[in-house]
């Protein structure tokens, strides 16, 4: 699963890297340790005019038919079953998004406790997870929510964990967001990212606590 990631890019990067035409009114502070239920930026197609827009979403998918927020947030959808699970299948068909990131974390079990590892692109460029989004209204509150799709690991991540978030190739962003692809074509995109394009390093255990959201979380050890 993917339960922690980071996003440390300037606001103007959204237009260059993800072709976003509209951004919310936000200063986009750097996030070194994003955790479940946090507000996260997602890139989606505005159904009103077909433009790409960045909106803020709750990390943890809440379908419109769900009457209340789940006690355990649905932060991940499995690539193998996302097209058929009732919780995710409608969003997979109609409400796919990009979830921008600059890195993510997985944990290695060691004798002295859990050691976090940070995974990034080797060129340190931002990337996008394959994501889903939903909209619901609960208790008078309008909620946009999102989930990250996870699948099997590449050789780099497999040394530490048996799953990894699906990182889309930039040339696949249009197809993932577009309306013309078949379910089979979309599912073909949900594959492990090329390990040769990534790097990993052990980081400070400060990232183990969701209370810590500072550059210390990225410090190598």
Of the candidates 97, 106, 134, 217, the residue annotated as catalytic is 106
Note the Cα 162 to chain centre separation in Å: 17
Of the candidates 2, 97, 134, 217, the residue annotated as catalytic is 2
Concerning whether 51 is annotated as a catalytic residue, the answer is no
Concerning whether 97 is annotated as a catalytic residue, the answer is no
Distance CA 148, CA 3 (A): 9
Are the C-beta atoms of residues 135 and 143 closer than 8 Å to each other? yes
Are the C-beta atoms of residues 5 and 217 closer than 8 Å to each other? no
Per the structure block, which two tokens stand in for 55?
């909106």
Are the C-beta atoms of residues 165 and 75 closer than 8 Å to each other? no
Residue showing tokens 């339960």: 3
Residues acting as catalytic residues: 2, 106
């Amino acid at each position: 699963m993917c339960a922690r990631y980071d996003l440390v890019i300037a606001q103007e990067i959204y237009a260059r890297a993800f072709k976003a035409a509209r951004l919310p009114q936000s200063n986009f502070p750097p996030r070194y340790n994003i955790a479940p239920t946090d507000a996260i930026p997602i890139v989606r197609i505005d159904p009103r005019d077909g433009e790409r827009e960045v909106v803020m979403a709750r990390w943890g998918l809440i379908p419109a038919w769900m009457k209340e927020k789940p006690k355990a947030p649905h932060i991940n959808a499995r690539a193998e079953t996302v097209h058929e699970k009732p919780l995710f299948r409608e969003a997979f068909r109609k409400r796919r998004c990009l979830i921008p990131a600059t890195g993510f974390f997985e944990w290695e079990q060691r004798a002295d406790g859990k050691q976090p590892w940070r995974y990034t692109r080797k060129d340190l460029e931002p990337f996008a997870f394959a994501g889903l989004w939903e909209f619901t209204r609960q208790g008078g509150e309008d909620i946009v929510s999102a989930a990250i799709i996870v699948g099997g690991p590449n050789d780099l991540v497999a040394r530490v964990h048996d799953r990894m978030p699906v990182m889309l190739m930039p040339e696949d962003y249009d197809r993932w967001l577009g309306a013309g692809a078949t379910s089979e074509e979309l599912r073909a995109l949900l594959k492990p990212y090329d390990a040769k394009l990534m790097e990993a390093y052990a980081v400070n255990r400060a990232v183990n606590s969701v209370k810590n959201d500072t550059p210390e979380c990225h410090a190598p050890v």
